Structure 1
Amino acid sequence: MLGMLLVNIVFLTLSYQRLKITTFDPEFATSLGMRSTWINTAFMFLVSVTVTAGFNAAGAILVIALVITPPATAYLLSKNLPTMIALTVVIAVVGALAGFWFAYVLNAATSAAISVFYGVLFVLALAIERFIKLRRRRLVRPEARSVATAKRHDEYTATVQAGA
């Protein structure tokens, strides 16, 4: 697994910019002359080899938890791709270490403990994200909302009348 980690790090380091462009805007990548099918095929091949190696090393439950939960949790906490990648790594490491420790203390299955800990981190991040959104909505006073809505309505009306 350490070998797979090194291969993944080398691939992502060497092809980060190309992978980002081809994944999020393939038409733009094609207009720049990039072969988006090649980079995406190489990435999918690397993902499949990593998942297969993970199945043999850790089992299906842990591999699915490792692949999905840390990035989903990081996505809740950040909308910036480099920050999201860094948070994914931190969440994966912290979750694996904490889950392993809980499994040791409780004499439970390691993969189950790590998966449950990832789930707890995800629910915690979801609660934090919802709380922040709710707080932002409440900070905007109802009077300010109605004034802003009236101002937008006036601007729209003026734009429509000027265009007519």
Structure 2
Amino acid sequence: MVKVVREEIEIDGNDSTEKLIQLVKGDNDLIHYILTHTITFGGFNLMDMREIHDRTEKPIIAITERIVDLDSVKKALSKKFPYEYESKYEKILNAGNLYHTTVKTAGGRSDVYFHCYGIAPKDVEDLLEKVCIDSKLPESVRMAHLIGRTF
């Protein structure tokens, strides 16, 4: 880890994509790829993986521990955001396919699911084998959670 940066977003807002792009552009030379824990931040503040990749030219990977029921998510979005759920749901669709792999961790093999943009799924699988050490979350994501809890 070279540097820690922090940004605040609006809970259930629409600013996570822009904020993430600005963080990346601030340290563009240090970043080889973007790795996140899911595509949602602060409730239903959904990032647009396609836009982030297009504007940063960095591969982006979003890790999740389980398969998401898209029908349930769409229903929840339409109930909570009746006037903007379609734009939020479009960001989910922009994440593309949800891929599955297993990674070897200190506790054994674990299932991991991921979306990726700008990088081949096989390359993501190879990367996850290297960066998932103590848990099925990559070490950088695990550390980000620990650091984030201090704020």
Q: TM-score normalized by structure 2?
A: 0.27
The structure with the greater share of residues assigned to strand is: 2
What is the TM-score of this pair, normalised by structure 1?
Answer: 0.26
Higher relative contact order (CA 8 A, sep 6+): 2
**Could you say which structure has the higher helix fraction?**
1
Bigger Rg, structure 1 or 2: 1
